Structure 1
């Protein structure tokens, strides 16, 4: 099993890395430099990719080396994959030799047993890099540090490669995060969740940046609470990081929304497991900062795409609303740019590395079953939700907001633990909470819209009359279409925990 961290850095910092005293202090031998060119193979219908595998042939010191990587996962930025590697006598895969390396693993033998696989394989793209390699001893942990500089190419199209790989050869995975954090103090980096093969396939499929929603958490029936914690936190981090590039490179509002949801899920998960493993305050502060950066951009997206459309659609609205939308669009774009810059910042990289390092540390010694922990947690959250709902008051928007947050936390928690339940009980509960959250969310959108419009008025005197009209219209809408608090309270009190 290959275990490694991947970090992106600017080519301008390569010389700084090559001369870095931290590397010299831990290197067991002089740096090795190689020119590497690898061809990646698959079928026209991408059979290997669809099964989570990558196959390459690369020439190393005059010898052709065949490598297949498959399965595994990326958790907190830590890549863990099965790897089978051995020499071949040509620049083309030898599937027979690969089967021998795999041995008796039925899953991957079945992948290679596909009809006509040998004849359908073709080279899809080439990865060509100059590689610098150091063998490090870091407090007894054996780490291979690699700097790759080059490109990935398919049919004349290229994407650059400039990355660090920290591969654990022997020792504690936490040492990878700790060393990366020390390196990051002097050289700006970004944690990467995509490997070279994945980037090459992006060239093949010409895929853009698309929003990625949360995947279901799968917990074993006999999982402990500590095991559930790690699985849930990793699920939240994957949700965040899989939307990262789309927020940086694209302009789809949904990608930013999904990343913000990922941060909210992460904060909820950390709160759930606080008695088991309190998160360090400095990490919590950085997560709050990240949520704030994404939230500011998301609020303007909602105002622009949803809230202001109510005014535009109204026959009595003024022509100036179009100008108001233009001002809101400019603010939304500015906040989106600020969010992207936050993701490119070293504070964000430190947050991910620090989070990964902390998660490698053992939680409090407990053998409590996850089923017991989930039951106790859901009872507490349900009780709090009912308490919040009883305190809702139309004249106090904060009380409605707190009820919405309580519903959201209960919903996230049950989604985290859903695989531990049998039957359809969780579905009915989640459906009700989603409906409550949506209705109260519409009310919250109007509250947020009023705040944003007041900010916009302070910055744009000429648009003040139009903004005042919009505020009045939305306030009237809020007054005439308030959430039915009595119905919500009744619905929540009728709910039964699964």
Structure 2
């Protein structure tokens, strides 16, 4: 199992890291960099890549090392994956050496066991890296290897430069990787690297779009403590955030922006849920608000240009609406680029590293009293029941007369509904499935209607401001505002029915 934290750095900043005090104490300090030439192999149809594997032979002087890496679970730049490495005698792979180590019933295993595969293998790209490596033993006893890499990935159809930092855990806890990375970030701007060298090589060969990733159900155990539940829920939220980062940065699919934003919203809701027993570190909420706002600016215009104008019937009046839609799409594209820049920033990198370190070290325990430690060791089930009940009470209070209250009050009720839903979904595995299903179905229907109404309110604000930058769409924007207002008015009875249905329900138990 390989555990590596990968970060990108500007070429001109490599020298600063090379001479930082932490690396100066390493046995590798002062030595010349090694040249690593790695040739990646695959079949003409890229069958290894389709199995989410990479196969290479690396030349280090006269030595040849064959490596097969399987699909990586990357979180906060940390690649956690199975790696099979062995010495070979030639510059081409020897698949026989892998057959006893890879399960034969897996896609990759079947490919390796197929005698015909050897004849189909061919070199597809090469990485040429000058590497300075620094073994470290930290005061905590954790053992790392820090590698500073400069070079390129080269294929017949193109080349990609590389300047990177790799922190590999040789022994100890992953938290040490994040601590060292933050120390480096104090010296030079670093960026989370979401792509391995193999990913970069395949990226030259094929154009792959990142698929938006939705939240997965949280699985808690009946005997989990409050702290156990918090760790599981926070990591579940972060899984969704991290899984959508590449999609946001690539800009291929605006849905990645939406799903990353949902992940951040779920995380903030979880932090609020546990705030009285597990306080967040200083500045965390401010930074989460910042990145959520950067994504939100893109998402609001995407929704207006897409679902709001497309699916509400306004699009039937194409002559008036088409110029409005085009203006909204231009703004959305610009804001998507801004969102990508935020996710690629050193500021976001620091946030991700700090969060990962805090979770791995359970940083909330520092300075806790015995009473506070006792509170987080209690049953998650009782905690969940109390929290969901309190959140429902707040929703019922804020939603009183829901169909008749003003937009601001209805927005507060919508936020309360969202928090109830997230809390219920976080703890759903602790309760009978049927009880949760009925409750969530009613809550989801209510929340969807409130969400649509909120989109209409946001759309009205955006459409009102749009003519300032695009005067030619003034009449179309005014028409769309009027049309949306009529749809909101027509929703009055539906909202009353949904609210009445939800008020009758008790929280799951």
Scaled by the length of structure 2, the TM-score of the pair is: 0.84
| Aligned twin of 1:381 | 391
| Aligned twin of 1:279 | 280
Deviations 1:95-148 (A, max 9, x none): 554466x5xxxx846547537335425345433322221223444543211122
Aligned mates of 1:148, 1:75 — CA distance in 2: 21
Note if contact 1:55-1:69 (Cα within 8 Å) is conserved in structure 2.
yes
Note if contact 2:76-2:192 (Cα within 8 Å) is conserved in structure 1.
no
Question: What's the CA shift for 1:208?
Answer: 2.3
| Aligned twin of 1:164 | 165
Question: What's the CA shift for 1:166?
Answer: 0.9
Aligned mates of 2:47, 2:427 — CA distance in 1: 33
Residue 2 to residue 277, structure 1, CA distance change in 2 (3 Å): farther
| Aligned twin of 1:313 | 315
Q: In terms of mean alpha carbon deviation, does 339-348 or 89-98 score higher?
A: 89-98
Aligned mates of 1:372, 1:38 — CA distance in 2: 55
Residue 445 to residue 413, structure 1, CA distance change in 2 (3 Å): same
Question: What's the CA shift for 1:372?
Answer: 4.1
Note if contact 1:77-1:356 (Cα within 8 Å) is conserved in structure 2.
no
Work out which of the residue numbers 473, 498, 508 in structure 2 matches 1:488: 498
Note if contact 1:38-1:57 (Cα within 8 Å) is conserved in structure 2.
yes
Work out which of the residue numbers 431, 436, 441 in structure 1 matches 2:446: 436
Q: How does 1:395-434 map to 2 (within 5 A)?
A: 395-434=405-444
| Aligned twin of 1:117 | 114
| Aligned twin of 2:370 | none
Question: What's the CA shift for 1:215?
Answer: 2.9
Note if contact 1:30-1:134 (Cα within 8 Å) is conserved in structure 2.
no
Q: How does 1:203-222 map to 2 (within 5 A)?
A: 203=204, 206-220=207-221, 222=223
Residue 202 to residue 64, structure 1, CA distance change in 2 (3 Å): same
Residue 324 to residue 69, structure 1, CA distance change in 2 (3 Å): closer
- Give 3-state SS (helix, strand or coil) of 1:56's partner: strand
| Aligned twin of 2:175 | 174
Deviations 1:204-244 (A, max 9, x none): 65312332222333445544433332232222223222222
Does residue 335 of structure 1 match 2:345? no
Aligned mates of 1:283, 1:267 — CA distance in 2: 9
Work out which of the residue numbers 466, 473, 481 in structure 2 matches 1:471: 481
Question: What's the CA shift for 1:449?
Answer: 1.3
Deviations 1:350-409 (A, max 9, x none): 111111111122254443344444444333333333333335252411222222222222
| Aligned twin of 2:86 | 86
Q: How does 1:50-449 map to 2 (within 5 A)?
A: 53-70=53-70, 73-95=73-95, 97-98=97-98, 102=101, 108=103, 110-111=105-106, 114=110, 116-121=113-118, 122-123=121-122, 125-140=125-140, 141-203=142-204, 206-220=207-221, 222-309=223-310, 310=312, 312-315=314-317, 319-362=319-362, 363-364=364-365, 365=373, 366-390=376-400, 392-449=402-459
| Count of aligned residue pairs for this structure pair | 491
Question: What's the CA shift for 1:177?
Answer: 1.4
Note if contact 1:267-1:287 (Cα within 8 Å) is conserved in structure 2.
yes
| Aligned twin of 2:369 | none
Where do 5+ consecutive residues of structure 1 fail to align? none
Aligned mates of 1:50, 1:279 — CA distance in 2: 41
Scaled by the length of structure 1, the TM-score of the pair is: 0.86
Residue 222 to residue 72, structure 1, CA distance change in 2 (3 Å): farther
Residue 151 to residue 275, structure 1, CA distance change in 2 (3 Å): same
Note if contact 1:146-1:165 (Cα within 8 Å) is conserved in structure 2.
yes
Q: In terms of mean alpha carbon deviation, does 257-266 or 228-237 score higher?
A: 228-237
Note if contact 2:442-2:498 (Cα within 8 Å) is conserved in structure 1.
no
Note if contact 2:75-2:242 (Cα within 8 Å) is conserved in structure 1.
no
- Give 3-state SS (helix, strand or coil) of 1:484's partner: helix
Q: In terms of mean alpha carbon deviation, does 52-61 or 275-284 score higher?
A: 52-61
Aligned mates of 2:53, 2:379 — CA distance in 1: 34
- Give 3-state SS (helix, strand or coil) of 1:186's partner: coil
Residue 229 to residue 195, structure 1, CA distance change in 2 (3 Å): farther
Question: What's the CA shift for 1:286?
Answer: 0.5
- Give 3-state SS (helix, strand or coil) of 1:390's partner: coil
Where do 5+ consecutive residues of structure 2 fail to align? 366-372
Question: What's the CA shift for 1:484?
Answer: 3.0
Q: In terms of mean alpha carbon deviation, does 115-124 or 236-245 score higher?
A: 115-124
Aligned mates of 2:290, 2:273 — CA distance in 1: 20
